[in-house]
Amino acid sequence: MPNIKSAKKRVAVSRANNERNKAARSALKTAIKKADAAIDAKAEGADEAVKNAVAKIDKAAGKGLLHKNNAARKKSALVKKLNKA
Interacting residues of 18 by C-beta distance below 8 A, sequence separation 6+? none
- What is the rounded distance in angstroms from the CA atom of residue 16 to the CA atom of residue 7? 14
DSSP letter assigned to residue 3: -
User: Per residue of the chain (85 residues), what is the pLDDT tens digit?
Assistant: 899 999 999 999 999 999 999 999 999 999 999 999 999 998 888 999 999 999 999 999 999 999 999 999 999 999 999 999 8
pLDDT at 81: 94
Amino acid present at 74: K
Give domain 5-84's CATH superfamily: Ribosomal protein S20 (1.20.58.110)
> Residue ranges of the alpha helices (H) in 1-85?
5-40, 46-63, 68-84
Closest CA to 28 of 74, 69, 73, 72: 74
Where do the domains of the chain lie?
A: 5-84
